[in-house]
Structure 1
Amino acid sequence: MNFAIESISNDILEKKLQSKIDTKTKPVGALGVLEKIALQIGLIQNKENPELKQPTVLVFAGDHGIAKKGEVNPYPQEVTAQMVYNFINGGAAINVFCKQNNIALKIIDAGVNHDFKEIENIIHAKISYGTKNYQDTPAMTQKQCATSIKKGAHLVTETYNNGCNIIGFGEMGIGNTSSASLLMAYFTKNTVAECVGSGTGLQTEAITVKKSILSKVFDTYTPASPLEALATFGGFEIAMITGAILKSAELKMTILIDGFIVTAALLVAHAIDNKVLDYCIFAHASEEQGHQKMLDFLGQKPLINLGMRLGEGTGVAVAYPIIESAINFMNNMASFESAGISGSE
């Protein structure tokens, strides 16, 4: 459970990278955020010529006990398993965008309330058949939470050992916006009402009910640590993503953060070790209303805002070409000297 995460701060390398960026055939700063991305990835990889190797998105799926009642989610719990089959069969948005941008995709059963047996094209990492309903009892035991974190870390290690150095995470789980809202309230100190949104499509009256239910849940517990909060309110998929984020940072991988649910997992990881932020690039701003407040809390700006709120890691996959552009200009764009162009005085 201990992750040795190092800061990417390196004054000497940063000056070299910045000089390389500034002497490209352009006005200083003219490529805006792309320049910041190139600098960050150079520092993460500790080299002047950073490269992107085998980009991968891991999608973790898990069910939530509260979803069985249907009070906080417009879709039945069975949709989680149905969507996992859609991922496996290549029919979801994340499949389309990963294929378009040559991103490897892995689907993980973290805790779906369904038996996938020995189906191929899925990683079997089930902790249990969904979490318990935190209206009655904590979502998972401390042991289950720890096991989830370790499994997420293990899957990242395997991906890293296969040559990947840039990774993103997605999720699927009916009811997981409720878990993310509770975790957000715990870590950001916003009220539950400020954290709750429409999820997969609740209308105004149903959102009011959701806020009331989750506020009562939140007031029932007093978690004493980030891990206890995760065990109390989280999902198996969120806990695995937390472990995956921490391990990715330890391995000095570039981490692409998706929307509301993945950022909730990041809030847990950040509370454990705030140096994880050094390795994170925030792909997009979700339309789920709490996400912008999460980004503000972390002091981060996303690359794109396209009104998306699908989850699955789709924000990561859509934003990935921007990351590629940053690395490509860094490595392939001429400098004033190499092009024989007079630079600014």
Structure 2
Amino acid sequence: MSGIASLAELRTRLANLPEGDDGAASAIAERQSRLTKPQGSLGRLEELVAWLGRWQGRETPRLDDVSVLVFAGNHGVVARGVSAYPVSVTAQMVANFERGGAAINQICKSVGASLRVVSLKLDAPTGDFTQQVAMSEAEFIEAVAAGYDAVPASADLVCLGEMGIGNTTAASALAASLLGGGGERWAGRGTGLDDEGMARKREAIDAGLALHRTHHQDPLAASMIFGGRELAAILGAALAARRYRVPVLLDGFVATAAAAPLARLNPSALDHAQVAHCSAEAGHRGLCAELGMRPILDLDMRLGEGSGAALSVSVLRAALACHLGMATFDEAGVDERG
């Protein structure tokens, strides 16, 4: 169990985070230097293998146990007309996940990953942040703990995703609170808003920022005020993975925004994480730049569901296959560069 009972305890966890294994990363880099290829010619594939080894604490990384966690929650701000879909769709999509009928199910099968969907009080949407805080401290901590407890300590890699109608509005408001700017900078079309819906979305974000302008300077408080249960769970899961030294792939805009408060409180808090893909959702590219995180893929995806994170597992598998399977110059009898 997480043992997190308050914001104070959460801050304590963030103040003392385990580091990665530099020795494992160095050994991986040394092997890369001897493989039958020009130095650095596999680009980020080489970096990603070293990153895996650093956080797994293994000179020979593995991807035998890849876990995709999708957290689902509902948002009171949907009542402001900020989504093209009603909140009922969240539970309907969760049922679709459980039947195996969604995109994330197919991608998980294709990359050899397990899928777990965690529903967080779908019958009790968060508060409308244009009128009140989204969650009380107790509700926020409960959701954080649910995410923390969902992470298997034995996993080789964890992918974090979400499902929640209205959660791009929550993520946009949270990003604005953490990094400045308002609805104009951060709001995107989400599930397919028309121009009128976009105007309502920007207005809701700006109204929330104005209402809570004296209360959101703290990153955890901002997550509690503007976020949702699924965003809080992603924050908790990212923290648990760091405690267990499990590398993490964050899905698109919502998942990145959900984890961003960790980095604002501790600049090294997301060193064990990679952004899996750059979402087509407005604001994600800028958010990644603000966090100093470079997405692995850029495919114009904006589905959510952890889909981009799961798809990026295929890149990691290819990187690892090259690292483990390629011959060294000595083994292949190939002359090295003179």
With the length of structure 1 as denominator, give the TM-score of the two structures: 0.90
Match of 2:255 among 262, 267, 288: 262
1:8 aligned onto 2:20:
yes
Pick closer, same or farther for the CA change 1:246–1:254 going to 2, 3 Å: same
CA distance in 1, matches of 2:267, 2:148: 17
Question: What's the Cα RMSD here?
Answer: 1.4
Residue 309 (1) aligns with residue 302 (2): yes
Of 197-206 and 23-32, deviating more is 197-206
Task: In structure 2, give the amino acid aligned to 1:58.
Answer: L
Q: 1:9 to 1:164 in 2, by over 3 A?
A: closer
Equivalent in 52, 63, 76 of residue 74 of structure 2: 63
Q: Counterpart in 2 of 1:192?
A: 183
Q: Is the 8 A contact 2:231 2:255 kept in 1?
A: yes
1:301, distance to aligned residue in structure 2 (A) = 1.5
Deviation digits for residues 139-176 of structure 1 (CA, Å, limit 9, x no counterpart): 110111112111211111xx22xx31200111111110
Q: For the Cα contact (< 8 Å) 1:111–1:131, is it kept in 2?
A: no
Question: Does structure 2 retain, via aligned residues, the 8 Å contact 1:70–1:76?
Answer: no
* Equivalent residue letter for 1:149: V
Equivalences for 1:124-273 in 2 at 5 Å? 129-156=124-151, 159-160=152-153, 163-221=154-212, 222-273=215-266
Partner of 1:120: none
Tell me whether 1:83 sits opposite 2:93 in the alignment.
yes
How does the TM-score come out when normalised to structure 2? 0.92
Q: Output one character per residue of 1:28-81: Cα deviation in whole Å (capped at 9) or x when no partner.
A: 1111110110111122123321112310111100000111x2511111111111
Distance 1:165 1:186 in 2: 33
Question: Is there any run of 5+ residues in structure 2 with no aligned partner, and where?
Answer: 1-9
Query: In structure 2, how many angstroms separate the alpha carbons of the residues matched to 1:300 and 1:213?
Result: 28
The answer to whether the Cα contact below 8 Å between 1:58 and 1:168 also exists between their aligned partners in 2 is: yes
1:88-127 equivalence runs, <5 A: 88-113=98-123
Shift of 1:302: 1.1
Amino acid across the alignment from 2:301: M
Whichever residue aligns with residue 187 of structure 1, its letter is: L
8 A Cα contact 2:234 2:255, kept in partner: yes
Q: Hey, what's the Cα distance between the residues in 2 that align with 1:9 and 1:16?
A: 10
Shift of the alpha carbon at 1:137?
1.1
Give the number of aligned pairs: 324
Q: Does 1:73 align with 2:83?
A: yes
What amino acid is aligned across from residue 329 of structure 2 in structure 1? F
Q: Hey, what's the Cα distance between the residues in 1 that align with 2:160 and 2:29? A: 29
Q: Structure 2 CA distance, aligned partners of 1:244 and 1:192?
A: 27
Aligned residues of 1:258 and 1:311 also touching (Cα < 8 A):
yes
Secondary structure of the residue aligned to 2:337 is coil
Structure 2: how far apart are the matches of 1:212 and 1:111? 27
- Alpha-carbon distance between aligned partners in 2 of 1:294 and 1:308, rounded to the nearest angstrom: 16
Shift of 1:14: 4.0
**Identical columns (%):** 34
Matching of residue 294 in structure 1 with residue 287 in structure 2: yes
Paired amino acid for 2:296: L
How far did 1:247 drift? 0.8
After superposition, the Cα gap between the structure-2 partners of 1:95 and 1:70, relative to the gap in structure 1 and judged at 3 Å, is farther
User: Letter of the aligned partner of 1:298 in structure 2?
Assistant: L
- Alpha-carbon distance change, 220 to 321 in structure 1, aligned in 2, over 3 angstroms: same
Give, in whole Å, the separation in 2 of the partners of 1:101 and 1:13: 25
Quick one: distance in 2 between partners of 1:294 and 1:224? 17
| Offset of residue 304 of structure 1 | 1.1
What are the Cα deviations for residues 243-289 of structure 1, in whole angstroms up to 9, with x where unaligned? 00011011111100110110011102212333232111221110001
Out of 33, 41, 44, the position equivalent to 2:52 is 41
TM-superposition CA deviations, 1:92-112 (whole Å, max 9, x none): 100111111111000101121
Task: Please tell me whether the aligned partners of residues 7 and 275 of structure 1 are also in contact (alpha carbons under 8 angstroms).
Answer: no
Contact in 2 for aligned 1:6/1:275 (Cα 8 Å)? no
Give how far 1:15 is off: 3.6
Runs of 5+ consecutive residues of structure 1 not aligned to the other structure: 114-128
- Structure 1: how far apart are the matches of 2:71 and 2:260? 17
The AA in structure 2 aligned to 1:59 is V
Q: In the TM superposition, what are the counterparts of 1:276-287 in structure 2 within 5 Å? A: 276-287=269-280
